[in-house]
């Protein structure tokens, strides 16, 4: 298969004013030439093939949005080469826009006061979609989701989940080669997240559309992505499949325990008792991420049993979320 996205040694730098404090400082800043150079994307190279779903991950401020903006043609890289379906996106923005679809979180591209079907018809004219292709996409949509309840409903009357679903349908309407999805399931309940993930997967399979997914929801990653790219501070940390990534952390297991007393208070004590390991807490469990190259699970459990009355416990393999967290903290060896 051919690569539809090619990025070679991409760098993006911004010139940022060194601002001073206070009113006097603000007035001086008006005439200041004291700038610093901030490198938001630092020498990133990758190739993505037609039909792939790639998770593009990183903490806030890692450079994800800047990279996406360069791919969509909004920003021009400081140096390096980028090709989207054979086009230089910032040099051919109109052509590039015809071949991509974009969903940015909760920023709807639909017309707020119009029924969804009218937004679809406007997009049909904007993208010059033929009647045959348009009718074919609407037929496909109806086969994938229960479209009738929202098709004639004004966007402003839709729930968040319905708007998100509608935005994804709108992004795929002109049958783009690539769709960029930025936090598509943010703020949605579990049921709607599952519907959105099923829809994205079905559209990708049916139309062989390349999907670039940025998200902090590891459920999205596990459900949709075979390959993930991780960046932090503008640098690429990892580019491979999830299972290969978990292989770096094969010695890790998660020990989950329930103890008498307030879980959050007890979790703080557990952190002091096992300082070498990561400890998290939720409404049900205290979780200890144990590296068995440092200590055996049963030894850690025995140590905790001496200090706490453990009412329940279970062991789990390391999750994708925990792997990503470890990479943010330690990187990949």
Residues 273-327: tens digit of each pLDDT: 888 888 988 888 999 988 888 888 889 999 998 888 889 988 887 777 777 777 7
Instruction: Give Cα separations from 121 to 74, 167, 174, 215, 265 (angstroms).
Output: 26, 14, 11, 30, 56
Instruction: Return the closest-CA partner of residue 102 out of 250, 228, 212.
Output: 212
As a whole number, mean pLDDT of residues 133-149 equals 92
Q: What is the pTM of this model?
A: 0.78
Average pLDDT, the chain: 87
Query: With DSSP H G I counted as helix, E B as strand and the rest as coil, what are the percentages for the chain, rounded to 5?
Result: 40, 30, 30
As a whole number, mean pLDDT of residues 157-169 equals 91
Say whether pLDDT at 333 is over 60.
Answer: no
Percentage with pLDDT > 70 across the chain: 96
- Tell me the C-alpha distance between 211 and 8, whole Å: 19
Say whether pLDDT at 205 is over 60.
Answer: yes
**β-strands 278-281, 286-291 pairing:** antiparallel
As a whole number, mean pLDDT of residues 193-213 equals 93
Helix (H) or strand (E) holding 59: none
The label of the residue with tokens 């290969």 reads 244
pLDDT tens-digit profile of 95-109?
A: 998 999 999 866 788
3-class DSSP state for residue 291? strand
Categorize the per-residue pLDDT at 331 as very low, low, confident or very high, splitting at 50, 70 and 90. Answer: low
> Any idea how long the chain is?
333
pLDDT tens-digit profile of 52-77?
A: 999 998 888 888 889 999 999 999 99
As a whole number, mean pLDDT of residues 266-275 equals 89
């Amino acid at each position: 298969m051919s690569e539809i996205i090619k990025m070679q040694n991409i760098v993006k730098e911004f010139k940022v004013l060194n601002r001073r404090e206070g009113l006097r400082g603000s007035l001086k800043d008006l005439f200041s030439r004291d700038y610093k150079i901030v490198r938001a994307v630092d020498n990133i190279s990758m190739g993505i093939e037609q039909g792939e779903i790639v998770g593009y991950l990183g903490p806030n401020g890692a450079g994800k949005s800047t990279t996406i903006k360069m791919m969509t043609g909004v920003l021009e890289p400081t140096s390096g080469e980028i090709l989207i379906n054979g086009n230089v996106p910032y040099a051919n923005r109109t052509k590039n826009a015809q071949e991509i679809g974009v969903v940015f979180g909760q920023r709807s591209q639909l017309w707020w006061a119009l029924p969804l079907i009218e937004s679809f018809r406007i997009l049909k004219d904007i993208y010059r979609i033929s009647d045959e292709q348009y009718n074919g996409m609407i037929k496909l949509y109806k086969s994938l989701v229960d479209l009738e309840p929202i098709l004639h409903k004004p966007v402003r009357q839709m729930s968040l989940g319905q708007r998100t679903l509608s935005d994804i349908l709108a992004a795929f309407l002109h049958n783009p080669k690539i769709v960029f999805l930025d936090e598509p399931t943010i703020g949605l309940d579990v049921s709607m997240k599952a519907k959105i993930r099923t829809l994205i997967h079905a559209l990708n399979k049916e139309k062989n559309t390349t999907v670039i997914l940025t998200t902090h929801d590891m459920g999205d990653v596990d459900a949709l992505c075979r390959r993930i790219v991780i960046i932090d501070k503008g640098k690429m940390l990892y580019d491979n499949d999830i299972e290969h990534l978990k292989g770096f952390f094969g010695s890790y297991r998660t020990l989950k325990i329930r103890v008498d007393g307030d879980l959050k208070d007890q979790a703080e004590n557990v952190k002091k008792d096992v300082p070498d390991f990561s400890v998290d807490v939720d409404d049900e469990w205290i979780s200890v991420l144990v590296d068995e190259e440092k200590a055996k699970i049963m030894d850690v459990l025995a140590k905790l049993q001496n200090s706490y009355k453990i009412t329940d416990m279970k062991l789990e393999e390391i999750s994708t979320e925990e792997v990503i967290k470890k990479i943010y903290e330690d990187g990949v060896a």
